[in-house]
Structure 1
Amino acid sequence: MNTYSKEQGDVNATELRRKYTDRNLSAAAKALADEDAAYFIHQSLSTPVLNVLSRAEGIYIYDLDDKAYIDMHGNGVHAAGFNNDTIIEAAIAALRDKNTFTPRRYTNRHAVALAKKLVEITPAGLDRVLFAPGGSEAIEMAVMLAKQVTGKWKTISFWDSYHGNGFQASSIGGEELFKGGNGPMMPGALHVEFPNYYRNPWGFTTQEAVDDEIIRQMSILFEKEGDIACVIGEPVSATPIVPSPTFWVRVKALCEKHGALLIFDEIIEGFGRTGRMFACEHFVTPDILVLGKSLGGGLLPFAGIVANERFNVLQHRSIGHFTHEKNGLCSAVGLAMITYLQEHELVRQADEVGTLALQWLEAMKERRPSVGHIYGKGLHIGIELVIDKKDKHKAIADAEMVMYKAMERGIAFKIIEGNFITLRPSLLIQWDEMKLALEQIEACIQEVEEGLYYD
């Protein structure tokens, strides 16, 4: 009997999932879903699939029957929207110019222009760039760089975090789902709690007390373990929990005291998600910034790191020797994506729409007995559902029902850790569209609270 972990998301093999597909997928969609299940290796979170898509555009995904859903997940690639015409035209131009694949030992104008743009828009002190095919590889590069420049080999990261599926990336990640059963993982991967002020293992009720305890534990690891090359984390977690304004300041000071680097994984949060171009702008500038997902313009897989000039010391080592290291096509779409964000002021829009959304949700929390807490910055938002607000027991079954009800109303999102509704729409979304989505989600929550379950 398989047991299914919900630490990363909703489960694709529950009875409710079967009910959803039976109720909503047409014969043609079911046939394609069955073929998908017949040919792909089954794995948690991926198989069987939820639905079959015909296309994606702007803030929407469309199923095979052309039903539109406001997509609040998008795997984080859709900062400038799905299949943005401007970005597509940049890709077409690169294809027509045949300025696409560039072998190693060569470069091209798109790769240089994108690297230059990233140095221009990232915080001061981030001056050197490396590209990679995807986020997991970018994490690997960042950690190897930290180990090389410090001469140390251990890492500190956070429980319940996700940093990719590479051997080192999954070791650093804090979820059993991605490393259980693999035997010994990367040695020296140490973990502490992320600063959750609503729900923490010590029962602390103030931000200061939570921060103090985590910093105390980190200090012990630095002093008693030693050889710490870096601390790596998301500046705002995927759920998304927002640390206090001083937490990362204290972490960076601890790193500097012990000769370690601070790495921020902004694969999700980068490019405007939190209402700033980069989430680190709310806190401190890291030594290494990891980017991905939307860097590929919603069209192609692409990622990279941006680091301080003083780490440009690895002429005797290779940490990113990838076939597509300076892919001209990927670089062209990445540059077009950033330009589109800037010209259409989508980062400012994310801040404004996100602020209104968080205010609306805080008011909803007062109306809805199962809404325990609201998290987020910008358009990086989380709703935690609980069975009762006093005991804070996770409402896992309710969250799954809300998700399927919302899907039937044309609102798609992902559940994380069993009971977090996570909302990460495209930065293109307008307030009236966001408000419509929030109203539909509240209606679904209210139905489940009133016993109108997903049957």
Structure 2
Amino acid sequence: MSLDTFIEEYHRVFSRSSRTEYVPTVIKEAYNSVVIDVYGRRYIDFSSSASVVNTGYNNPKILDVVEKQLRKLIHYTHIYGFNEPALKLARKLISITGVVNGKVILGLSGSDANEGALFLSKAYNRRTYLLSYVNSFHGCTLMAAKASGIDLSRRVVRLLGEEGKTIFLPYPDCYRCPFGYTRGGCRLRCIEIVEEKIDELNGDVYGLIIEPIQGDGGIIPAPEEYISELQRILNKWSIPLIVDEVQTGVGRTGRWLAIQHYGVNPDIVTLGKALGGGLPISAIIGRSNIMESLPDFSYSFTLSGNPVASAVALAVIEYIEENNLVERARILGEHVVNELKGLMKEHELIGDVRGKGLMIGVDLVKNRETRERAVAEAKKVVWRSFELGLIVFSVSGNILRIQPPLTIEEEILDEGVRILEKAIDDVEKGRVRDDVVKMVKGWGDY
């Protein structure tokens, strides 16, 4: 079957609401940080399959755990009975997240983890409003979508007639400040807005959900002073702080959780994506008084706590610990950021480089003064990188999302950065044809 025929068949059988696409490649196999398509072409993967394979593709230790657990027990439902892998995983999650008096709910995806966190927070204090952020993304289930400020989610929620009790705050974006301040001259007006809004509502807020580094909204790290002030305000009103670590968690940012960069203790943490090393699993870890707010058995899934997925998630955490990958993410991330910032001297298309650990955003702009988003140019860079042997995705229309596996070999990481520079150079010099913009669909364009 030709590539065009294969893709046409995909479009014929899969609903467009379940997927998008960046580049036309059919992946057959993968090893650590490299994927191989059905024609034998090799690509360095800077996406980790949407920040999922933090421990690399086909990690031998993870494969060994999968095989051993499959031979012992594929499934016995955790919601009616008990299994050992689920218990070991839950204890480990409480340990690495540091949630005080923590309890755990296991699920299947980041969406259902955030959904459950919102359910629990609402049940806990029975208040009316949720606070979230412009350009946030928390998932595709109903409450998670209603909590998401990204344009696609807002359109879906409006289509379903579910607009309502979520109030969206300006995210503390130091590159594109919503209040027009320059970096270094900020007065933290964004945190004043939070306090004013809660005062206006007389504290009738059941939770605030935040990504410590906004992911699909543009790889935007919140400033440290913002998060500490945020917790002070929420504590004053006894409003739960819900931290969405679906994309940022499991060592991605150079800490187990991104919120740990800020010295803040959240009330609820959600995990997904990288937790299962490629298998579907998620987790809500929260204070026991919040986690016990719903009736018995009221937020459960037949396949949650699956022994294979649970055993693999535990193996992912142990592998990261044994190989010091959290610290490795920090060190390699600093290296990549320095390399990319060095490229800014030669490439005007790069407006900003930001992130923590191996969660890095390259902000492409038409003009550094106006900071106008270079959306078409970003799509061309994605396409040209693909042609040169690098998989890289974009978010927010113009932000290149650099999230390779934490296990990526240093020489392959450097090779990927060189390919990316070549792609940017080719776009700047007009060497990439215009029609590829229509082929790189992506999502989150503004």
* TM-score greater than 0.5 by the shorter chain: yes
Report the Cα distance in structure 2 between the residues aligned to 1:276 and 1:169, rounded to whole angstroms: 25
| Residue of 187, 204, 224 corresponding to 2:181 | 204
Larger mean CA deviation between 27-36 and 365-374 belongs to 27-36
One-letter amino acid of the structure 2 residue matched with residue 296 of structure 1: G
User: How far does residue 99 in structure 1 lie from its aligned partner after superposition?
Assistant: 4.8
Q: Following superposition of structure 1 onto structure 2, how do residues 139-158 of structure 1 map, counting pairs within 5 Å?
A: 139-158=114-133
**Aligned 8 A contact 1:126 1:306 in 2:** no
1:185 and 2:162 correspond = yes
- 1:295 corresponds in structure 2 to 275
Q: Which amino acid aligns with 1:261?
A: P
Identity among equivalent positions (%) equals: 29
Q: For 2:194, which of 183, 200, 218 is the aligned residue? A: 218
Query: AA paired with 1:65?
Result: Y
Match of 1:137 among 109, 112, 121: 112
Closer/same/farther in 2, CA of residues 75 and 102 from structure 1, 3 Å limit:
same
Mapping for residues 266-415 of structure 1, pairs under 5 Å: 266-283=245-262, 284-298=264-278, 300-314=279-293, 316-415=295-394
1:32-51 matches, within 5 Å, as 32-43=6-17, 45-46=19-20, 50-51=24-25
Q: Which residue of 2 aligns with 1:72?
A: 46
Aligned-residue offset at 1:66: 1.5
- Report the CA distance between 1:321 and its aligned residue: 1.6
Query: Partner letter of residue 293 of structure 1?
Result: K
Compared with structure 1, are the counterparts of its residues 432 and 358 closer, same or farther at alpha carbon in structure 2 (3 Å cutoff)?
same
Partners of 2:123 and 2:294 within 8 A in 1 = no
- Work out the CA distance in 1 between the residues paired with 2:305 and 2:177: 43
- Give ranges in structure 1 of 5+ residues lacking alignment: 1-26
* 1:21 corresponding residue in structure 2: none
Letter in 2 for 1:309: S
2:209 to 208, 232, 252: 232
Aligned Cα root-mean-square deviation (Å): 1.8
Distance 1:65 1:384 in 2: 32
Give the deviation of 1:454 after TM superposition: 2.9
Alpha-carbon contact 2:210-2:243 (below 8 Å) kept: yes
Instruction: State the AA in 2 paired with 1:101.
Output: Y
**3-state SS of paired residue (1:246):** helix
**C-alpha separation between the residues in 1 aligned to 2:39 and 2:160?**
44
The alpha-carbon deviation at position 302 of structure 1 amounts to 0.6
TM-score, normalised to structure 1, is 0.90
Where structure 2 has 5 or more consecutive residues not aligned to the other structure, the ranges are: 435-446
Query: Are the aligned partners of 1:252 and 1:262 in contact in 2 as well (CA < 8 Å)?
Result: yes
Distance in structure 2 (CA, Å) of the matches to 1:231 and 1:334: 27
Q: Which residue of the partner structure matches residue 17 of structure 1? A: none
Partners of 1:443 and 1:99 lie apart in 2 by 46
After superposition, what is the alpha-carbon deviation per residue over 1:190-213, rounded to whole angstroms, capped at 9, x for unaligned? 101111111123211145636x22
Alignment of 1:55-134 (within 5 A): 55-73=29-47, 74-123=49-98, 125=100, 127-134=102-109
**Distance in 2 of aligned mates of 1:417 and 1:446:** 21
Q: Distance in 1 between matches of 2:10 and 2:22?
A: 8
3-state SS of paired residue (1:285): coil
Looking at structure 2, the residues matched to 224 and 46 of structure 1 have their Cα atoms a distance apart, in angstroms, of 40
Residues 103 and 318 of structure 1, relative CA distance in 2, 3 Å threshold:
closer
Q: CA deviation at 1:45?
A: 4.9
CA contact (8 A) 1:398 1:448 kept: yes
Aligned residues: 427
Contact persistence 2:255–2:326 (CA under 8 A):
yes
Deviations 1:112-141 (A, max 9, x none): 000011112112526211101111111011
Q: Is the 8 A contact 2:94 2:102 kept in 1?
A: yes
Q: Using the alignment, how far apart are the partners of 1:230 and 1:56 within structure 2?
A: 40
Q: Give the 3 Å change call, closer, same or farther, for CA 278–242 of structure 1 in structure 2.
A: same
User: In 2, Cα distance between the equivalents of 1:338 and 1:47?
Assistant: 30
Aligned partners of 2:99 and 2:286 also within 8 Å:
no
Displacement of 1:159 after TM fit? Answer: 0.8
How far does residue 325 in structure 1 lie from its aligned partner after superposition?
A: 2.4
What's the CA shift string for 1:213-260, capped at 9, x where partnerless? Answer: 221221222122241111101111112111211111111111111120
* Residues 444 and 47 of structure 1, relative CA distance in 2, 3 Å threshold: closer
The residue type paired with residue 294 of structure 1 is A
Range that drifts further, 175-184 or 329-338: 175-184
